[in-house]
A and B are shown apart, each in its own frame.
Chain A
């Protein structure tokens, strides 16, 4: 196997992985701490992308666009939490699914109304738009490298916040036993709002990172939210560490499947059926992985302690 191609694909897998992590970390915290199924998490990813596009347009700078869009997305998250989500915590999961599915439709319609149906391209500054030679012969798009760095940095920050700070301690406690920390006199309402806002900001950031590559478009979050759920199920619901490892794993498997599966299938099948079967099969790989892990570890790879 061509090692240049292999290393490039590893990097591509890592990039997809950290992007999934940005989305999944918020989702797993919301699910784990508040026991709340938030299908509309993908809508915040979309909102982040559109905010970033608009602010980039106004300020003519991608950097300022991101700096402004992150708090804006967090504010949207907080508002949604206060107005709608808060009323739903006491309901059962089916109600969560119904309500947040409704939210998806509302967000999609609002975006259609505000930005039109055609989607939004986000220009990158020239410095990010090129390629960079990381190792001899391995030339990688600069912006994708930035996604990897941002994602990994954020993962480290999140790790430090959760293991080393008081609010992180509360988050861990919340994931392990919600009722108990309420009983100990912690203001659980504010904690929930903050976690929801932070989750929204990270989902938004993921949207901002991907849209210079694929464009911001209506419903962009609905496609990726399914994969994000796969990630948190594999990682163990409520565990940020699990979300990180599962996201990287899913990123690698998806990319490697798309890259090398047709070559392997061609050894077994005719060229024509391999061509058609490979994309279908590689799209299934992560679900096969999830099913396998669920058989042996129904609670996921790294479930939070105390459950």
Chain B
């Protein structure tokens, strides 16, 4: 009897479910709020909240219901939270994801349930290639693209010899491989340092080797707190002006205020590559950056930029079907067109639903108010598509 009642109740809920859901667009956003990496998540959540405010909390006549979840920097928890969003909250879109390993662990939960999955940062090669899915979209990049742009920039600058430093884990090796794939000069030294639990933050020995190697440039990838630590030691070791610094995902709007506070002038003038910069010249970006600075009193990071785009991509889909959220095919077709104002300017989607976009060189400068930020220098790779798209059967 009890079981029958339960069945009835479940059936009733299923029947009512869609009718209730239809007056709201439910967006689940998975990011890292706790652990020291929580600063990244905070930037993303701030950007998403700003975007929702900027669109007046409405998409295609529907109200936006945003549900933020914390993955705790752990794949298992990310998957658990994705399951919760899909089953309990019955969201229409699952978005966010800073870390490649968290996204890889969580993607099946969202996609198998027939939900749209939008990565606001992570771009692992698997999802760009073999594991590509019709309901997956990225508002960021594939991991390899940014270091490949860096290789190209080094070639253009005529750098002949390079010293590489990166953490000893999957993304660290990818970043170093990305540069090596494109860079034509000689790699005179390479250090993969301990990462994960008990990550190495003191680089004295490696910097001494880099100095002795006589390289014309040093390339690093140190996301998060290791980035600030590296830059300081680079300056303290007196390498500034001797071995120019080239980096990816290391010097960003999260690291710069702290570096400025610690008066680490060593980072000034250092070069990096990226798909976006706060001063990129287009209307949407101006609106985003000035709005973000006004609301939170700081520059947005690229994580924030991608998250802001995520909301506008979803908005373009919901509006294309006039708020009829059961029209999955219609929403997918709309997103594929990338027909929304993006902070990076106009771009298109490749067959694997990763952006085909420009990559720019950026330089650390001081803005009109004396605040440290990055400025776009020039296009390094134009309309660049990742190398894994050809492995995607879609």
Near B by CB (< 8 A), chain A positions 89-130 give 117-124, 129-130
Instruction: Tell me if A182 is interfacial: C-beta within 8 Å of chain B.
Output: no
CB atoms of B238 and A213 under 8 A apart: no
- B173, B197, B259, B261: the one contacting A223 at CB < 8 Å is B197
How does the 8 Å CB contact mask read for A206-241 relative to B, with 1 for contact and 0 for none? 000010111101110001001000000000000000
Instruction: Tell me if B191 is interfacial: C-beta within 8 Å of chain A.
Output: yes
Contacts A121-B262, A123-B262, A218-B36: A12 and B193 contacting too (C-beta < 8 A)?
A: no
Near A by CB (< 8 A), chain B positions 183-212 give 190-194, 197-199, 201-202, 204-206, 208-209, 212
Instruction: Tell me if B28 is interfacial: C-beta within 8 Å of chain A.
Output: no
Instruction: Tell me if B35 is interfacial: C-beta within 8 Å of chain A.
Output: yes
Query: Contacts of B36 on A, CB cut-off 8 Å?
Result: 117-119, 217-219
Q: Chain B: which residue is nearest A125 at the CB level?
A: B263
Query: Contacts of A255 on B, CB cut-off 8 Å?
Result: 204-205
CB atoms of B229 and A213 under 8 A apart: yes
CB atoms of A139 and B192 under 8 A apart: no
Query: Contacts of B201 on A, CB cut-off 8 Å?
Result: 213-215
Instruction: Tell me if A2 is interfacial: C-beta within 8 Å of chain B.
Output: yes
Instruction: Tell me if B371 is interfacial: C-beta within 8 Å of chain A.
Output: no
Instruction: Tell me if A298 is interfacial: C-beta within 8 Å of chain B.
Output: no
Near B by CB (< 8 A), chain A positions 37-68 give none
Contacts A141-B237, A141-B238, A279-B193: A121 and B259 contacting too (C-beta < 8 A)?
A: yes
Interface centre among A143, A217, A255 (most CB of B within 10 A): A217
- A119, A258, A279: the one contacting B225 at CB < 8 Å is A119
B12 to chain A, nearest CB (A): 43
Q: How many Å lie between the Cα of A160 and that of B199 in the bound state?
A: 36
Instruction: Tell me if A259 is interfacial: C-beta within 8 Å of chain B.
Output: yes
CB atoms of B199 and A259 under 8 A apart: no
Interface centre among B190, B261, B262 (most CB of A within 10 A): B262
CB atoms of B35 and A215 under 8 A apart: no
Q: How many Å lie between the Cα of A164 and that of B42 in the bound state?
A: 54
B297 to chain A, nearest CB (A): 15
A132 to chain B, nearest CB (A): 10
Q: How many Å lie between the Cα of A212 and that of B229 in the bound state?
A: 9
Near A by CB (< 8 A), chain B positions 140-180 give 168, 173
A-B contact count (CB 8 A): 116
Q: How large is the interface on B (under 10, 10 to 19, 20 to 34, 35 or more residues)?
A: 35 or more
Instruction: Tell me if A8 is interfacial: C-beta within 8 Å of chain B.
Output: yes
CB atoms of A16 and B199 under 8 A apart: no
Instruction: Tell me if A15 is interfacial: C-beta within 8 Å of chain B.
Output: yes
CB atoms of B228 and A259 under 8 A apart: no
Query: Contacts of B209 on A, CB cut-off 8 Å?
Result: 5, 259
CB atoms of A12 and B208 under 8 A apart: yes
Q: How many Å lie between the Cα of A118 and that of B254 in the bound state?
A: 9
CB atoms of A259 and B205 under 8 A apart: yes
**A contact residues, total (Cβ < 8 Å):** 45
Q: How many Å lie between the Cα of A118 and that of B301 in the bound state?
A: 14
A218 to chain B, nearest CB (A): 6
How does the 8 Å CB contact mask read for B243-273 relative to A, with 1 for contact and 0 for none? 0000000000010001101111000000000
Q: Chain B: which residue is nearest A276 at the CB level?
A: B192
Near B by CB (< 8 A), chain A positions 257-284 give 258-259, 262, 275-276, 278-280, 283
B231 to chain A, nearest CB (A): 10
CB atoms of B194 and A213 under 8 A apart: no
Q: Chain A: which residue is nearest B260 at the CB level?
A: A121
B299 to chain A, nearest CB (A): 15
Q: How many Å lie between the Cα of A16 and that of B204 in the bound state?
A: 9
CB atoms of B237 and A131 under 8 A apart: yes
Q: How many Å lie between the Cα of A219 and that of B34 in the bound state?
A: 13
Instruction: Tell me if B284 is interfacial: C-beta within 8 Å of chain A.
Output: no
Contacts A15-B204, A123-B261: A129 and B235 contacting too (C-beta < 8 A)?
A: yes
CB atoms of A12 and B191 under 8 A apart: no
Q: How many Å lie between the Cα of A123 and that of B197 in the bound state?
A: 26
Q: How many Å lie between the Cα of A213 and that of B233 in the bound state?
A: 6
Query: Contacts of A218 on B, CB cut-off 8 Å?
Result: 36
Instruction: Tell me if B236 is interfacial: C-beta within 8 Å of chain A.
Output: yes
A4 to chain B, nearest CB (A): 7
Query: Contacts of B330 on A, CB cut-off 8 Å?
Result: none
Instruction: Tell me if A9 is interfacial: C-beta within 8 Å of chain B.
Output: yes
How does the 8 Å CB contact mask read for B15-42 relative to A, with 1 for contact and 0 for none? 0000000000000000000111011001
Query: Contacts of A275 on B, CB cut-off 8 Å?
Result: 190, 192
- B173, B198, B228, B263: the one contacting A123 at CB < 8 Å is B263
CB atoms of B262 and A12 under 8 A apart: no
Contacts A129-B235, A131-B237: A210 and B193 contacting too (C-beta < 8 A)?
A: no
CB atoms of A122 and B192 under 8 A apart: no
CB atoms of A215 and B208 under 8 A apart: no
Query: Contacts of A143 on B, CB cut-off 8 Å?
Result: 236
Query: Contacts of B192 on A, CB cut-off 8 Å?
Result: 275-276, 278-279
Q: How many Å lie between the Cα of A212 and that of B235 in the bound state?
A: 12
Instruction: Tell me if A144 is interfacial: C-beta within 8 Å of chain B.
Output: yes
Instruction: Tell me if B232 is interfacial: C-beta within 8 Å of chain A.
Output: yes
CB atoms of A121 and B202 under 8 A apart: no
Near B by CB (< 8 A), chain A positions 130-175 give 130-131, 139, 141-144
A77 to chain B, nearest CB (A): 24
B371 to chain A, nearest CB (A): 16
Q: How many Å lie between the Cα of A127 and that of B191 in the bound state?
A: 30
Q: How many Å lie between the Cα of A276 and that of B197 in the bound state?
A: 17
Q: How many Å lie between the Cα of A258 and that of B258 in the bound state?
A: 28
Query: Contacts of B263 on A, CB cut-off 8 Å?
Result: 123-124, 129
Give 7 A-B contacts (CB < 8 Å), ordered by A residue.
A121-B264, A141-B236, A141-B238, A212-B232, A214-B233, A215-B201, A276-B192
Residues in chain B within 8 A of chain A (CB atoms): 34-36, 38-39, 42, 168, 173, 190-194, 197-199, 201-202, 204-206, 208-209, 212, 225, 228-229, 232-233, 235-238, 254, 258-259, 261-264
* 3 residue pairs, one from A and one from B, having the closest CB atoms: A121-B262, A214-B201, A12-B204
Given A129-B235, A129-B263, A279-B192: 18 more A-B contacts, CB < 8 Å: A5-B208, A12-B204, A12-B205, A117-B34, A117-B36, A118-B39, A119-B258, A121-B258, A121-B264, A210-B202, A215-B201, A215-B258, A217-B36, A258-B193, A259-B205, A259-B209, A279-B194, A283-B194
Residues in chain A within 8 A of chain B (CB atoms): 2, 4-5, 8-9, 12-13, 15-16, 117-124, 129-131, 139, 141-144, 210, 212-215, 217-219, 223, 226, 255, 258-259, 262, 275-276, 278-280, 283
